[in-house]
Structure 1
Amino acid sequence: MLITLKDIKKILGGDLLFENLNFEIQPGEKIGLVGRNGSGKTTIFKLINQIETPDDGQVFIKKQANVGYLSQIPEGVAGTVHDYLKSGFSSLMTIQEKMKRLETDMQDENKMERAIEEYGKLQDEFMRLGGYEIESQIEKVAHGLHLEGLLFSPFQNLSGGEKTKAGLARILLEQPDVLLLDEPTNHLDLHAIEWLESYIQQYDGAVCIISHDRQFLDQTVEKIYDLDQGEINVYIGNFTSYVKEKEERLLAEFKAYQEQQKKIKKMKEAIKRLKIWANQANPPSEKLHKRARNMERALERMEKLDKPNLDPQKMGLSFDAEDRTGKDVIVAENVTKSYGDTPVLQGLELHLRYQERLAIVGRNGSGKSTFLKLIIGSEQPDGGEISLGAQVSIGYLPQEPLKHEDPDMQMIEYFREHVRVTEGQARQILARFMFFGYAVFQRIGMLSGGEQMRLKLAVFMHQNINLLILDEPTNHLDIDSQEVLEEAIENFNGTVLGVSHDRYFLNSCFTETAFLHEGVLHRYPRRYEEARLKWQDQLDAMKTKEEHVMKSKKPVSNISQSNKGNVHLEKEIEEKEQQLQKIEEEMEKADTTEELIELQQAKEKAEAELESYYDAWIAEKDE
């Protein structure tokens, strides 16, 4: 056993989080720790790392076991990102320093023999621990998490999200016996998430993950610890199998509870009858009284089953667009945007129509959030035009929804400022969003990310919105709240434009996907899982074309008059590329399997012809 929490009791802010809680991590296990926001998941991680102490119970960690945990954004770090990542190899750095000192001792004849012997031992240890692979390991992890462009930037110049990614990278490089990851996907784009999944799958140590990303849990864990009302229930399998098994368990428990209640009712009725019969007998029957007492004792000794909660309380969210927009909702034409000398959007085009549900995905820094800000008018494009259709009313949910609000304002004040209701009505509405009693008087600055999201959604629900613009809305919501949001979007009769890295959410809520790449949108009338395969094919084709062009480039001095013969081939190539594009567009619209097969055959033929044109063009260039 690497880690054991035994009979833990923890009180936080006057509330009992758990009592007699037991938790363990064994070598090599891949565990997902799930539960509602505020249930105590992060507190368990802090107990393991001695950031928090239990009010009762014991925490055992195997001697010399290393635990990797990023408790907060790294601050006060000197040097570059590369320096920070390299500091994760502190034990190897110590060995390396000793080896350097021994190299000096080898110059001294009196110390040479002993120094060589000691150096050999240290070198073996250095090699065993991967000392000569430090740089390649740093490059591998930095590339996977998209930090390669920041390696030699001062650490203090990074954004909060970039610092968190760097902190995650450092922990991965340390390769501890136990990795504790608390919402590791929050600051990662889809490519980095998929890389992290692969890394965890191949990781030899134990991993315990707190995450609201359902697909990430499906890909990485083999056991689920469900923290529910202060107790941990264990399920073998990934997240999907856990959901199924939990439902089956709850139904079985409810059936057992109902059977026991029937038995208790019958026993109580039998006891009542025995007492009546005993008293009606003349003289009163002691034998019947004794039987009644025996049944009462049996009833008292019976271990009563708690009634399972088949319908846990969730926020009551729904959207209703009373006023519909025109057919055109958003039209963006040739939109450009740069920050300093860095271009972000370069001729972006978008035509979003009534009731369309479009997801925009792309790497971090590709301009997704920037484009949303241009649409709502909080920023202006450098060029091009963005216009909204008739009667469009926007509900915009940014990643930090209350960032620019007065932190001292009470929650109920904020709500009533945006929704004209009495205090009593406001409290009733906020209770539907899991804000009960005096919680509605909390100050905005004290709210968690999930609470801010729920408050903003409560406001949206009572405004006449017909265009939802969502920027990473699932980041701070627990899984129950995500499911409520997904259902509300599904039933919404307006238009939805969203940015997300949550693949489950993307596939559930959006029927179209657009990839933002090099400042331009590439749109597919498909859900994310299908669209990403099409997009990868397009990326591969773009890369192949670029390689062909690069191979064909030659210095100006080598270009002869004979190259004028290439004009005909270039025209053929251009026409064939246009033909291919047209075929692919028709394939997107194909309704039948037969039509799709015909188009696929036409595509393969056109691709073969295009390849032969490329070969001929390159051959002529080389002559």
Structure 2
Amino acid sequence: MLVTLKDIKKIIGGNILFENLQLDIKPNEKIGLVGRNGSGKTTIFKIIAGIEQYEQGDLFLKRHTKIGYLEQIPHFPNGTVRSFLERSFEELNNLKQKMKELESEMQRTEKIERVLEMYGKIQTQFSDLGGYEMDAQLEKIADGLSISHLLQKSFEQLSGGEKTKAGLAKILLQQPELLLLDEPTNHLDLSAIEWLEEYLNHYKGSVCIISHDRTFLDHIVEKIADLENGEVDYYKGNYSSFEKQKEEKLLQEFAAFQEQQKKIKKMKEAIKRLRQWANEANPPNEGLHKRARNMERALERMEKLDRPVIDAKKMGLALTADDRSGNDVVKISGVTKQYQERGILKGIDLHVRYKERLAIVGDNGSGKSTLIKILMGKAEPSTGEITLGTQINIGYLAQNPLEGIAEDQPMIEYFRSEVSVTEGQARQILARFMFYGYAVFHKLGQLSGGEKMRLKLAIFMHQGVNVLLLDEPTNHLDVESQEVLEDALSRFDGTVIGISHDRYFLNKCFNETAYLVDGKLHRFHGTYHETKHNWERLKEDQTTLKKAPLAKNNIDTPDQINYEIEIERLEQELDDLTNQFKNGEISEQLYQIEEKERQRKLDRFYEEWATIEEK
């Protein structure tokens, strides 16, 4: 074993977080540590890293094991980001310094052969450890995590998210035997997340990950350690496999619990009958009394099974708009946005219709949040027109849903300031969103990310919101809270426009995807997973156009290529749908619904493509 935790007991604030905790990490193992927020996952990482003490138990580390632990926000008071990253090469830097000293000594000493011999040994060691690839490795990782532009900046000038990314780059450069990564995808954009996946899949060492990014875990880990009620259970496979296995296990445990309850009920009934028969006998039958007592003792000795929690309470409520919006929700034409001399948005055209679910994806700093703020009216475009449709009622859900609200305000007071109801009505509504009893009087600053999100959804539901704008809403949410949000959105009968780097969330909640790159928006029909290939193809075509310019009349513009891809895909879908109906694979009713929807979109694409052709 690389790491073993045995019978670990940890107390925080007078409460036992866990006791008798067992955890093993093997060499070259990629494992995901999952569990509810507050279950102790980060504490386990800190114990392994030697940062956190524990009350009792044993921690065994394989001798000379180097551990890389990703701090939430690392500190480096003096120096640039590059100098911060170069500290990863401590051993190589020491060897490099020795080589420089020997080079100077060569100029002064007569014992040149001895110095050359020492220099040769150190140079060989330096080379074997990758000394001549230091700069290339640093550039590669900085580029992969999208921090190359920060290398010459003072470390202390960085934002918290940028410091965390730099900290991740530093521990990757150290190449420890064990990587402990706590929410490594926070602050990363999609391209950086996908680069990190590729890097970790080829990493020669053990990797243990805490993450609420289900797709990230699916693509990397081969085992899940599930921390629940202070105990760790192991499941082979990735996160999706774990979910299925855990559900099956819970169902088996529930069946065993029900079976035992039947047995207990029968034994209690038998004990009751034996006593009744014993008392009815004349004289009373001591033998039957004795048998009843023996059976009662057997019942007491029986190891009782706890009732398994098959599923945590979920809201199961639809976000229903009082009034639906018009068919045209928002139209954007030629929108640009300048910050100082930098163009963030460069001629954005966008048309969103009723009930569409549009995801906007792109790298950090590409202008996604700026575009959302323009849609909300919180930022003005430099040029261009924005037209909102009729009967629009917008709700905005961000990664911090209550940003700017006084944290000392009680939840129920804030809710009633947003929704005109009595205190009793407010408590009834909040209970449906899993806020029970005294919890409604908790101050906003005491709420977790998931609780803040549920509170905001409760407000939206009673404000008649029919358009939702989402800005990284799943950040800082545990998986259970993410599922609550996904369930609420699936029942929402309005329009959704969202930004996210959570691919599971993107694929589940959105059927239209727009890529914001270099200030331009490129839209495709389909989920992120379905459209990624088309986007990669479009980028290749654009690169080809730039490298080999032809006469204007013979060139398909990027917009033409985009529409041609979508038209080709929809035509194929219609053919496939017709074949499914002919083969009896789908009903006539389903065929008519699906065929009508695809034909509507295809007709729209034909019209818009023809308009571009005329230009």
TM-score (norm 2): 0.88
Matching residue's letter, 1:312:
A
* CA distance 1:399–1:577, change in 2 (3 Å): closer
Choose 1-10 or 373-382, whichever is displaced more: 1-10
Distance 1:358 1:479 in 2: 22
Change (3 A) 1:42 1:585: closer
Structure 1 distance, partners of 2:126, 2:370, is 47
What is residue 147 of structure 2 aligned with on the other side?
A: 147
For the 8 Å contact 1:221–1:237, the answer to whether it is kept is yes
Which shows bigger deviation, 286-295 or 151-160? 286-295
Residue number in structure 1 paired with 2:204: 204
8 Å contact from structure 2 (residues 513, 523) kept in 1: yes
**2:295 is matched with which residue?**
295
Q: For residue 515 of structure 2, give the secondary structure of its aligned residue in structure 1.
A: strand
Indicate the percent of aligned positions where both proteins have the same amino acid: 60
Match of 1:611 in 2: none
Residues 1:468 and 2:468 aligned together: yes
Quick check: 2:235–2:245 contact (8 Å CA) kept in 1?
Answer: yes
Are the counterparts in 1 of residues 325 and 390 from structure 2 also a CA contact under 8 Å?
Answer: yes
Letter of the structure 1 residue corresponding to residue 59 of structure 2:
V
* SS of structure 2 residue aligned to 1:363: coil
Q: Does 1:183 align with 2:183?
A: yes
CA contact (8 A) 1:453 1:476 kept: no
What does residue 554 of structure 2 align with?
A: 573
CA RMSD after TM alignment: 2.5
Cα gap change, 1:329 to 1:295, in 2 (>3 Å): same
For 2:595, the equivalent position in structure 1 comes to: none
Q: What residue identity is the alignment partner of 1:586?
A: I
Change (3 A) 1:457 1:90: farther
Q: Matched residue of 1:314: which SS?
A: coil
Deviation of 1:2 after TM superposition, in Å, equals: 2.2
- Which stretch of the first structure deviates more once superposed, 520-529 or 401-410? 401-410
| Offset at residue 129 of structure 1 (A) | 1.8
Task: Give the C-alpha shift of residue 491 in structure 1.
Answer: 1.2
Does the 8 A contact of 2:523 with 2:562 survive in 1? no
1:458/1:93 Cα in 2 relative to 1: closer, same or farther (>3 Å)?
A: farther
User: 1:113: how far off?
Assistant: 4.4
Farther-moved stretch of structure 1 (401-410 vs 24-33): 401-410
Amino acid at match of 2:501: H
Q: Deviations over 1:137-164 (max 9, x none)?
A: 1111111111122222222222222221
Aligned to 1:497: 497
Contact 2:524/2:566 (<8 A) preserved = no
Aligned to 2:193, the other structure's residue is in SS state: helix
Residue of structure 2 equivalent to 1:102? 102
Mark the CA change 1:584 to 1:240 in structure 2 (over 3 Å): closer, same or farther: closer
Secondary structure of the 2:540 match is: helix
Distance change >3 Å, CA 420–CA 49, structure 1 → 2: farther
> In structure 2, the residue corresponding to 1:323 is in which secondary structure?
coil
- Partner residue in 2 for 1:589: 570
What CA deviation, in whole Å up to 9, does each residue of 1:2-36 have, x standing for no partner?
Answer: 22222223333444322222122121111111112
In 2, Cα distance between the equivalents of 1:576 and 1:344? 21
Task: Work out the number of aligned pairs and report it.
Answer: 578
The code of the aligned residue for 1:116 comes to L
Question: C-alpha displacement at 1:385, in angstroms?
Answer: 1.6
Q: Is the 8 A contact 1:317 1:484 kept in 2?
A: no
Judged with a 3 Å threshold, the aligned counterparts in structure 2 of structure 1 residues 110 and 358 are, in CA distance, closer, same or farther, namely: same
Letter in structure 2 aligned against 1:570: A
Alignment of 1:315-330 (within 5 A): 315=315, 318-330=318-330
Structure 2 counterparts to residues 68-467 of structure 1, below 5 A: 68-109=68-109, 112-315=112-315, 318-467=318-467
1:432–1:468 Cα change, 3 Å? same
C-alpha deviation, 1:115, in angstroms = 3.4
Whether the aligned pair in 1 keeps the contact of 2:165 and 2:188 (CA below 8 Å) is yes
* Cα contact 2:278–2:286 (8 A) shared by 1: yes
Report the Cα distance in structure 2 between the residues aligned to 1:595 and 1:318, rounded to whole angstroms.
30
Q: CA deviation at 1:223?
A: 0.6
Mapped partners of 2:119, 2:315: distance in 1: 64
Q: Tell me the amino acid that sits aligned with residue 254 of structure 1.
A: F
For residue 574 of structure 2, what is the amino acid of its counterpart?
A: T
Aligned twin of 1:61: 61
Deviation at 1:292? 2.6
Which secondary structure state, in structure 1, belongs to the residue aligned with residue 346 of structure 2?
Answer: strand
CA distance in structure 2 between the partners assigned to 1:74 and 1:570 by the alignment:
54
Task: Verify the 8 A CA contact 2:522 2:562 in the aligned structure 1.
Answer: no
Q: Aligned in 2, Cα 1:276/1:571: closer, same or farther, shift over 3 Å?
A: closer
Q: State whether residues 9 and 21 of structure 1, in contact with CA within 8 Å, keep that contact through their aligned partners in structure 2.
A: yes
Residue matched to 2:511: 511
Residue of structure 2 in register with 1:9 after alignment: 9
Distance in 2 (CA, whole Å) between partners of 1:136 and 1:536 is 26
Cα distance, 1:353 vs structure 2:
0.9
